[in-house]
Chains A and B, each alone.
Chain A
């Protein structure tokens, strides 16, 4: 599977969270849980996005530990990113 650029990953994440404002800044340090868009439905979207792009299923026990974008990327595995 091809490696993904961080910027592309953040765009995928914004899609999953249905963040429509293109100017809304999401960085590696952004805490997902503090986002207004983050709720139990967006967790399903994140699971789907990770399955689609990386062929991985993230167990709920791991998802609840995610804080920042960077921590989500670590969970997926650094080897999947450029």
Chain B
């Protein structure tokens, strides 16, 4: 017995923000330099009246178009942009998608590591006989949290949702997992206000970070240098441990897909870990960093253009907000 990814679809909101549009708003900002260094030319963002749940719905409808939805017996919904404190968005999605009522459904709050964690939970739900066919939706709209004058974060992040079906299979196609957590870094990527610790503050004052970005404590804050420091330390280890746990080596793998943070960082990690360029996915050009959606979008993209094909073994690694990270190896 095993577990496999049966299908993936994703949805990008229609509205697009290009580098040229951002350059108009931030005069000291070079469109070419951004594309060259962070690898992003444009990003899709939600409208004011559009939420992560709306994107989730669109992505899930796409994947269920070619799947008997009555077979779905568990729904996992990963987002850090929930509709409400309660209930779980997964419950609303069960109804909107017309899924059976005798299924389990819940949300979990993770970012860049969310897809790998979703696979881990799906696998364990199947192995423990709780479910057979699982719908995993990773949907994120960080742009909702970002201040309009926050040049850095508006550059990096885009919105997207991905819907993945994981099902019981004859052969094992989802390998062993390595998961990690270091909450000591939680303040380096977070939204200080709006939860129950610090309520949303209508009078929150603007904070200038001295490099041309302005935000308030109601918005997303990212300490770029320290997030980079974290990844330099964590990612080589999670890759090494994932290889060991799966009894394999980089040479024996067909492909490597990391969470797409930004081009510069991912390229540095690639060189540091000595992953050959032709085995390494790097593409944020039209989406930016879409947090928990980057890995499934990458898998789907690589399947569609035959970069990866049946029986290929692909290492996945997600890392970021929390800090939280995870790695595994899937067989296509």
Contacts and interface: CB of A to CB of B under 8 A. Distances in A.
B17 interface: no
Contact of B224 (A44, A48, A59): A44
Nearest to A42: B37
Interface string A32-46: 000000011101110
B264 A60 contact: no
Contacts of B226: 59-60
A28 interface: no
B265 interface: yes
A15 interface: no
Q: State the main secondary structure of chain B at its contact with A.
A: helix
Nearest to A41: B37
A contacts with B: majority SS: helix
A57 interface: yes
B30 to A, nearest CB: 10
Contacts of B211: 39-40
B197 to A, nearest CB: 23
B229 A59 contact: yes
A34 to B, nearest CB: 13
Contact of A48 (B213, B223, B268): B268
B269 to A, nearest CB: 10
A43 B268 contact: no
A58 interface: yes
Interface string A47-77: 1100110000111100100000000000000
Contact of A47 (B37, B213, B229, B272): B229
A51 B225 contact: no
B236 to A, nearest CB: 11
A57 B38 contact: no
Contacts of A39: 211-212
Q: Interface size class for chain A?
A: 10 to 19
Interface in B232-261: 232-233
A40 B268 contact: no
Contacts of A43: 224-225
A48 B268 CA distance: 7
A55 to B, nearest CB: 10
Contacts of A47: 225, 228-229, 232
A44 B226 CA distance: 9
B81 interface: no
B223 A60 contact: yes
Contacts of B152: 40
Q: Which 4 A-B pairs have the closest CB atoms?
A: A60-B225, A57-B229, A40-B211, A60-B226
Interface of B: 33, 37-38, 152, 211-213, 223-226, 228-229, 232-233, 264-265, 268, 272
Given A48-B228, A48-B232, 15 more contacts: A39-B211, A40-B152, A40-B211, A40-B224, A41-B264, A44-B224, A47-B228, A47-B232, A52-B272, A57-B229, A59-B225, A60-B223, A60-B225, A60-B226, A63-B225
